[in-house]
Amino acid sequence: MADLDGNLDAKDFGIGVEQESAGFHVKGAGQLDFGMKHRLARVFRADGKTVMLAFDHGYFQGPTSGLERIDRNIVPLAPYADALMATRGVLRSVVPAGSSNALVVRASGGPSILKELSDEHVAMSMEDAARIDAAAVAVQVFVGGEHESRSVQNMTTLVDEGLRLGIPVLGVTAVGKELVRDARYLGLATRIIAELGAQVVKTYYCDAGFERVTAGCPVPVIMAGGRKLPVPDALEMAYRAVDQGAAGVDMGRNIFQRQAPEAMIRAVAAVVHDGATAADAEAMYRDLSGGASD
């Protein structure tokens, strides 16, 4: 029981010491098969980082603000993203097949916002992921949620199928309203997801101890965007997350709900790939947007 009780600080996460990656630029992936590596190399640039644009919200929220017309609002942003996170429905119906982005395809679902969100099932087969040329599939994992165990099983089912076909799994820490998004919880959830086989993990940033979350996870941790924040705060969060070990970001509302989404994704990319500070990136956003206020 001691590990459950207040000793996070007593642990040695080796902050600042990089994990050996066996000659491959994606953390924890050096010993995977060629197909897995080839797909991960489409998601993560040679610097080991990614700018993923999330617009899969409709799978449980319907036409979220900013996603009413994905053809008009999202497709023009694709050239600035390394990877697109979307449902197979939107990929097949709206996203141009000639797009060169890595595709991270939503593979869990079931409940809408009208129901208990952790009550998900596997919502697509890996054969279909292969058919759609997915670079990875994404699955929610509700650690501490009502249907925790099933959501873990959803993920491990996809991991087994992914290993068979060479398709990585992105496990998403889906944090219910009743749970606190602190380093203790996020460290627990990300580690469980990686230990059970996901090749990539997406999680929220936390102000204290995020570097322990990333250091304690043996595969890349991508920062989730979350609800829309003021521009400086969103860029600062992205900067800090990458500075503290995140392998990039997976942002949706903080990009597509802006007055100038293209300027915002370019500013985020400058933080992730070019080492821009939040202040540099904010100046870039203002400049590219012609002075947008939001």
Residue with Cβ nearer ligand R5P (37 or 109) = 109
To ligand R5P, the closest distance from the beta carbon of 59 in angstroms equals 7
End-to-end CA distance of the chain: give it in Å, rounded.
Answer: 47
88 binds ligand R5P (CB under 6 A): no
Length of the chain: 294
Spatial CB neighbours of 158, under 8 Å, sequence gap ≥ 6? 107, 108, 122, 126, 137, 139, 169
Residue with Cβ nearer ligand R5P (62 or 96) = 62
Out of 29, 32, 36, 54, which residue is the one contacting ligand R5P (CB under 6 A)?
54
To ligand R5P, the closest distance from the beta carbon of 85 in angstroms equals 6
224 binds ligand R5P (CB under 6 A): yes
226 binds ligand R5P (CB under 6 A): yes
Q: Is 37 a catalytic residue?
A: no
Residue with Cβ nearer ligand R5P (21 or 257) = 257
- What is the C-alpha separation between 74 and 118, in angstroms, rounded? 27
- What is the C-alpha separation between 189 and 142, in angstroms, rounded? 8
To ligand R5P, the closest distance from the beta carbon of 23 in angstroms equals 31
Q: Are 174 and 139 in contact (CB under 8 A)?
A: no
Draw the binding track, 243-262, toward ligand R5P (x: CB under 6 A; -: no contact): --------xxxx--------
- What is the C-alpha separation between 277 and 291, in angstroms, rounded? 19
Could you tell me the two tokens for 161? Answer: 């199928």
57 binds ligand R5P (CB under 6 A): yes
Draw the binding track, 140-179, toward ligand R5P (x: CB under 6 A; -: no contact): --------------------------------x-x-----
To ligand R5P, the closest distance from the beta carbon of 14 in angstroms equals 28
Q: Are 132 and 101 in contact (CB under 8 A)?
A: no
To ligand R5P, the closest distance from the beta carbon of 46 in angstroms equals 25
Helices (H), 166-277: 183-195, 210-215, 231-243, 253-256, 261-274
Residue range at the interface with ligand R5P (CB under 6 A); choices 26-34, 51-59, 159-167, 175-183:
51-59
120 binds ligand R5P (CB under 6 A): no
Question: Does the CA dihedral 125-196-224-37 come out positive or negative?
Answer: negative
Q: What angle do CA 118, 58, 107 make, to 5 degrees?
A: 55
Which residues are identified as catalytic? Answer: 202
* Interacting residues toward ligand R5P by CB under 6 A: 54, 56-57, 85, 172, 174, 224-226, 251-254
